[in-house]
Amino acid sequence: MSKLLLPLNHYDEAGRIKPPRFFWWSCLFLAKSYVIFVLSLSNFRDADGLLEIFYPQKSELYIGFGIGGGALLAIIIVAYREKWWDGKWQFVRRLIKPCLIMTVLLDLAHQMQISVSQYWQFSWPVALMMLVDIVVLYWILKSRHLRYMIADWADKQPT
């Protein structure tokens, strides 16, 4: 009988470790351009107006789509994890952490580029985005739950 690595509520019915809640919140933050785009599509009256609030320049939205792609890929991998448990697709689970790290680093670089374009004048939105990016990066690098989840998925085969 093996010892549980995490409390019982972190396991699903099949005994596999579930993704941490902070994983989902981090992915939503990192894929914020996609979230804002979908929200703007749901507002039929003024879809372009909502996008212009967050992205005054259309190029910023497209840059956000590029940056958020890694988080979107991590979401897809986790959401369809049972499909990847086939022996030839085992390597896909190892892409979760690198996708998230790459996305955070790209978002930090983009925030730095925005700061440079503003001649390093303080901006609350940029500062908050950078702070959240740093917190998310720290969590990705230090999270035992995320590390255990990825390792556990390698050990488990579908039942």
Q: For 73-104, what is each residue's pLDDT tens digit?
A: 999 988 887 776 666 777 788 889 999 999 99
% of the chain beyond a pLDDT of 70:
92
Query: Which among 143, 78, 71 is positioned nearest to 107, based on CA atoms?
Result: 71
Cα(66)–Cα(115) distance, rounded to whole angstroms? 19
The span from the CA of 9 to the CA of 35, in Å, is 28
pTM of the model: 0.86
User: Tokens in use for 26?
Assistant: 């981090």
User: What one-character DSSP code corresponds to residue 153?
Assistant: H
DSSP SS3 for 17: strand
For the residues 60-78, what does the mean pLDDT come to?
Answer: 94
| From 61-70, 87-96, 115-124, the region with the lowest mean pLDDT | 87-96
Say yes or no to pLDDT of 25 above 90: yes
What is residue 42's predicted lDDT score, i.e. its pLDDT?
83
**Three-point CA angle 65, 70, 75, nearest 5°:** 105
Query: Predicted confidence band at 2 (pLDDT cuts at 50, 70, 90)?
Result: low
